[in-house]
Amino acid sequence: MRWMNDLTRARKQLKEFKLRISEEENNRRHRHRNNLLPINSRQDKENKHNASVESQQKPSVEETVQIVMKKLKEKQEILGLPEDVKEMTQKQLRLDKVNMQNCLLHFESIYGRPVNKQERLLMKPLYDRYRSIRQLLSPAAAIPTIEEEGSDEETILKSCEISSRPTADFPFQEFVDNVDHPDEDHERGFLSPPDEKKDTKQPSASLSNLHEASMPELLEHLRETRAEKKKLRKALREFEEQFFKQTGRNVQKEDRIPMAEEYSEYKHIKAKLRLLEVLIAKHDDSKIVLSS
C-alpha cells in the first residue's frame, strides 16, 4: 500500500516537471523570436507610409475653403435658394442652415475649429452667414418682412373650409391658437409686441357688435379691416427696412419702442380679422342647417 502511494506521488511530480519544462521552452522561444525582430517592424513601416501618403494628399486650407464654398453654392442653386438670407422664407432658411452645417463640419473634420488668423479670415464669411441664419430662425429674432396677403375672396373661401368643421362647444381662443392662416404671417410674420400680456385690450364695442352683423356687413368689415392691416404692415415694413439700413442688423424687441403703438394696433387688427372669419364661417353653418 505504501508503494502504491509512492508511485502515485512520483507520477504527479513527473507530470509537473514536464509541464514546467514545456513552459520554459515556450518562453525561451518567444524571447528568441523577439530578439530577432527589427526595431521598425514591417507593420510600423506600413503605418508610417500610410500616414505620409495621407499628409501629402491633404489639401491646403485655401483649397478646402474653395471646395466647401463651391459645394455650398451648387447646393443652393439646386434648391433654388436666394443668395441673400434676408430674402429667404423660414423653410429656405432651415434648408440653408443644414447646408451650412454640413460644410462647416466637413472643414472642421479636417482642420478642426479655425485657430490662427489665416483660417479665421478664410472661414469668416461662412461663419457669418451661418450666424445670420440662426438669428433669423431664432424665436427672439428680429421681425422679418411678411408676405403679401391673399385676396378677400381667398379669405372667405378659407373661412368656408373652416366652417365644415364641428363648431359646437368649440372654444374661440382654442380656434384662434390652432387654425392655420396663410395670410397671418405664419412663417415670416410680425412677432407680438413686447409685454403683450400687459398690453391686452378689452374688446371694443365695435367688436361686440360684429356678432349681430349680417353677412354683407361682415364682408364689408372684412374688406375694411384687411385694408387697415395692409396699410399698417407697409408702415412697419418700411420701419424695419430703414432700421436695417441704418444699423446693419434686424429689429429686436427693444428696438420697437418708437413703433410700439403701431405694432399693438397690428396685433389687434389680426385678432379682428380672425373673429370676422369665424363669424362668416358660422353664418355659413347656419345657412346649411336651415337649408337641410
**Residues 141, 251 contacting (CB under 8 angstroms):** no
- Same domain, yes or no, for 175 and 238? yes
The pLDDT value recorded for residue 208 is 64
Give the global pTM: 0.34
Distance CA 121, CA 113 (A): 12
- Same domain, yes or no, for 270 and 205? yes
For the chain, the maximum distance between any two Cα atoms, rounded to a whole number of angstroms, is: 126
- Same domain, yes or no, for 78 and 166? no
Report helix, strand or coil for 248: coil
Tally the domains of the chain. Answer: 2
- Residues of the chain predicted below pLDDT 50: 140-205, 289, 292
Residue type for 273, please?
Answer: L
- Same domain, yes or no, for 178 and 285? yes
The pLDDT value recorded for residue 160 is 40
- Same domain, yes or no, for 163 and 132? no
The pLDDT value recorded for residue 179 is 35
The pLDDT value recorded for residue 67 is 87
Using DSSP, how many helices (H) and how many strands (E) does the chain show?
10, 0
The pLDDT value recorded for residue 215 is 87
Range of the domain at 112: 59-137
- Same domain, yes or no, for 99 and 190? no
- Same domain, yes or no, for 133 and 156? no
The pLDDT value recorded for residue 50 is 60
Distance CA 182, CA 201 (A): 25
The pLDDT value recorded for residue 134 is 87
**Residues 122, 65 contacting (CB under 8 angstroms):** yes
- Same domain, yes or no, for 123 and 158? no
Considering only CA atoms, which of 200, 207, 204 is closest in space to residue 221?
A: 207
The pLDDT value recorded for residue 17 is 80
The pLDDT value recorded for residue 228 is 93
Residue 116 in domain: yes
